[in-house]
């Protein structure tokens, strides 16, 4: 089943949004549309995978404020979704349609948690001056001082 990683991300977003507070404002119509799409994905998955530990682990991580589920929980849920879809074409079709609709609602929106910053759409980064930094995260990120340039003295 293609796109199971998107399903895991949407389920994580569903759980994170369920625990978020203070969403009553000018964007509540947008929030309602996003929530409806996420709720549909969750309902379809929950009906088929009720009691699946991997689903609970993804939801618990989001509720605890994790930016994403652990790799193990994500992989476990992806496998459970693949297995369920392989054995039930009606489930696979319903989930595919729900994911497509939810992702259509998410176009133009980004989600971040903790100290994260999320940007949707194209980004142009311009950096000037000493001490300025720009970065694109494509995987694990660490910070710290790089080693000095040039040959290093041997101890």
Residue 17: which of 65, 49, 54 has the closest Cα? 65
Contact status, residue 7 vs residue 99, Cβ threshold 8 Å = yes
pLDDT class for 117, splitting at 50, 70, 90? Answer: low
pLDDT class for 102, splitting at 50, 70, 90? Answer: confident
Distance CA 154, CA 132 (A): 31
Distance CA 32, CA 53 (A): 28
Distance CA 153, CA 49 (A): 59
Q: Tell me, what's the pLDDT at 113?
A: 57
| Least confidently predicted of 6-20, 72-86, 92-106, 129-143 | 129-143
Distance CA 36, CA 143 (A): 38
Tell me which residue has tokens 């494509």.
138
What is the rounded average pLDDT for all residues in the chain? 75
Going by the DSSP 8-state scheme, the letter that residue 131 receives in this structure is T
pTM of the predicted model, to two decimals? 0.60
Q: What is the length of the chain? A: 155
Mean pLDDT, residues 111-115 taken together: 60
Distance CA 106, CA 108 (A): 6
Q: Measured at the alpha carbon of residue 135, what is the angle toward residues 133 and 140, in degrees to the nearest 5? A: 130
Mean pLDDT, residues 120-148 taken together: 60
Mean pLDDT, residues 51-70 taken together: 88
Top-confidence residue, 14 or 109: 14
């Amino acid at each position: 089943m293609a796109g199971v990683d998107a399903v895991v991300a949407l389920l994580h977003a569903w759980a994170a949004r369920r625990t978020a507070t203070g969403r009553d404002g000018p964007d509540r119509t947008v929030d309602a549309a996003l929530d409806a799409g996420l709720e549909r994905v969750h309902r379809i998955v929950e009906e088929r995978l009720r009691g699946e530990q991997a689903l609970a682990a993804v939801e618990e991580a989001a509720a605890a404020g994790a930016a994403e589920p652990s790799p193990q929980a994500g992989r476990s849920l992806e496998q459970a979704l693949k297995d369920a879809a392989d054995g039930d074409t009606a489930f696979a079709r319903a989930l595919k349609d729900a994911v497509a609709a939810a992702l259509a609602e998410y176009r133009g929106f980004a989600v971040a948690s903790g100290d994260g910053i999320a940007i949707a759409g194209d980004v142009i980064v311009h950096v000037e001056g000493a001490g300025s930094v720009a970065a694109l995260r494509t995987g694990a990120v660490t910070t710290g001082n790089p080693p000095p340039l040039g040959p290093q003295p041997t101890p």
